[in-house]
Structure 1
Amino acid sequence: MLVSESDSEKKLVQLKGLLSLDKPDLERCGLLLRELNIDFLDKTFLPIVDETKLTELHLARDVLECGAIWCILKEDHQCFNRYMAQLKHFYFDLKQHLPTSPRQYEIIGAHLLNLLSQNRVPDFHSELELLDCASLHNNRFLAYPVLLEQYIVEGRTNKAFFEACQNPPTPYYAFFSRILENTTRRNMAVCIEMSFTCIPKEDVKRIFFTDDDQFIEELVAERHWILEKEKAFSYATELERII
């Protein structure tokens, strides 16, 4: 049974309305997305762009963008990766045929932030090469992850944590920013082990810019740090970690 374009458009309007709510019904959004993905299954990677297909391409792109937002709201970065992989076809391969989406840079910025949060720095820089320099500096959605990466590379983690991570240009970035903060702290832990023989217990929270006791406990367990006389953490050797 063929689904009419108007039926798909109605579902898309309903989906956009749900996603715009303060507390959207993510389960209902997922059901609508599943139906829309089936409706546009054969339109996501059209080999030839024809004028008559532009409306379908617009709708298919809107569906994928809603899917990316849905993944962020349910805090599923793997799901977001899958939607982003399809959106790149529209954003870059079809850019000569489709106008820039109002949400394009917001979603690309989320993608860049996601790569940083997963410590995929080479992939982050590869993605930057697809974008023009003016947009990277002038577009607030793109400038945000670029600035964060600059702060982290320069070792200005206080800037990254207290300025940039606290003021994302869109609420959709908060999820990835939280992951990035902890990824950065884990990278800091590796550097600290290479530079110091131990860390005073009383300084741990200050060093890692956090008051989260649970995160500190997880970090200590992950790195196999040893609390000596309740005063300082020392580090296990590689052999001790394996054992």
Structure 2
Amino acid sequence: MAERELADLLKQLHKTLQSKQYQQAGSILSRAKIALLGLNALIPTESTPSKHLQLARETLELGAVISIRLQDPVSFTRYFQQLQPFYALPEDKLPRKGSNASKITGLYLLLLLSDGDYAGFHTLLETLEVAAAQAGRGLEDDQFIQYPIRLEQALMEGSYDQVWRQTKGSNAPSEEFALFSDVLIGTIRKEIASCSEKAYPSIPISDAKSLLFLESEGSVVNFAKESGWVVKDGRIYFPQEDGEFASKDILVTSDQVIENTLGYARELETIV
């Protein structure tokens, strides 16, 4: 009875996700997890039937996706951790067919990047590489894993413009990746803003638009106000060490600003 109920709830979950009714999906998900408890399948054991394991894995994977749609990284992390015992099961116990393990893991790698947790990123990546080698396969053809890998490489090189391009358009392997990519760009924007404050007394608004990867000069003005900067006569003035704002303009080109600021960011990263 509980197995049939859970299967029906999972069908409802897929429909609500397709129609983007995420709040409703969360309610159905709670009922699905209760059904899992009834099957004693929320945590895999030696005696858990393979069919129940598949239902449990699907439920938790849907929970992870719903968490992302609701922009709840804490909940997503919890689902990712709950899924690990299922992903560690051998093929004869829980077939990988039908699993979204690659997608969920790639999303978690992207979350680690968004949080600036490079140590956690590389620890997980090394674990994946070892597991793939033991299974006689590589990670090169896995689009969900390669996407965060490319972003991390660009970040380490200080190629923020490359990160920006990778997160735009159809480069993201799914909509869920695009959501986390926006968070990553926001993190990068804050880092560049912090470095800009240290590197320059002021810069033109037009240069700040390119530097901060913002869509319009109006967005630049709003970002500047949120950051406590002064906008005057087409320029942004950063606070100096004494708390005052520069009154003397420094004329630099957009390319110079971007090159110097990213260079400064790389130097800071090397020091740290």
TM bin (shorter chain): 0.7 to 0.9
CA distance change for structure 1 residues 70 and 90 in 2, over 3 Å: closer, same or farther? Answer: same
Matched, 1:30 2:34: no
Q: Report the equivalent of 2:10.
A: 12
- Residue aligned with 2:41, SS: coil
Whether the 8 Å CA contact 2:205–2:220 is kept in 1: the answer is no
Segments of structure 2 that go 5 or more residues without pairing to the other structure are 245-272
Matched, 1:75 2:99: no
Q: Distance in 2 between matches of 1:88 and 1:215?
A: 41
Matched, 1:149 2:146: no
Query: Larger Rg: 1 or 2?
Result: 2
Deviation at 1:184, TM superposition (A): 0.9
Whether the 8 Å CA contact 1:117–1:179 is kept in 2: the answer is yes
Deviation at 1:202, TM superposition (A): 2.9
Equivalent position to 1:104, from 97, 101, 104: 101
Q: TM (normalized to structure 1)?
A: 0.83
Deviation at 1:60, TM superposition (A): 0.7
CA distance change for structure 1 residues 83 and 150 in 2, over 3 Å: closer, same or farther? Answer: same
CA deviation string 1:45-102 (max 9, x = no partner): 23x323x52221111111001111111222222221221121122223x246322253
Question: Aligned residues, how many?
Answer: 233
Whether the 8 Å CA contact 1:225–1:235 is kept in 2: the answer is yes
- Specify the code of the residue in structure 2 equivalent to 1:181: I
Q: TM (normalized to structure 2)?
A: 0.75
Equivalent position to 2:190, from 186, 194, 207: 186
Q: CA RMSD in A?
A: 2.5
- Specify the code of the residue in structure 1 equivalent to 2:160: T
Whether the 8 Å CA contact 1:91–1:104 is kept in 2: the answer is yes
Segments of structure 1 that go 5 or more residues without pairing to the other structure are none
Q: 34-43 vs 143-152, which deviates more?
A: 34-43
CA distance change for structure 1 residues 210 and 186 in 2, over 3 Å: closer, same or farther? Answer: same
Deviation at 1:25, TM superposition (A): 2.1
- Specify the code of the residue in structure 2 equivalent to 1:87: L
Q: 192-201 vs 123-132, which deviates more?
A: 192-201
Q: Distance in 1 between matches of 2:49 and 2:218?
A: 52
Q: Distance in 2 between matches of 1:34 and 1:214?
A: 42
CA distance change for structure 1 residues 63 and 194 in 2, over 3 Å: closer, same or farther? Answer: same
Q: Distance in 2 between matches of 1:62 and 1:218?
A: 42
Which runs of at least 4 in structure 1 moved beyond 4 Å after TM superposition?
Answer: 212-215
Q: Report the equivalent of 1:209.
A: 213
Q: Report the equivalent of 1:85.
A: 81
CA distance change for structure 1 residues 157 and 95 in 2, over 3 Å: closer, same or farther? Answer: farther
Matched, 1:195 2:199: yes
Deviation at 1:36, TM superposition (A): 0.9
Q: Distance in 1 between matches of 2:126 and 2:43?
A: 23
Matched, 1:115 2:119: no
Whether the 8 Å CA contact 1:136–1:146 is kept in 2: the answer is no
Deviation at 1:218, TM superposition (A): 5.7
CA distance change for structure 1 residues 212 and 177 in 2, over 3 Å: closer, same or farther? Answer: farther
- Specify the code of the residue in structure 1 equivalent to 2:215: D
CA distance change for structure 1 residues 194 and 122 in 2, over 3 Å: closer, same or farther? Answer: farther
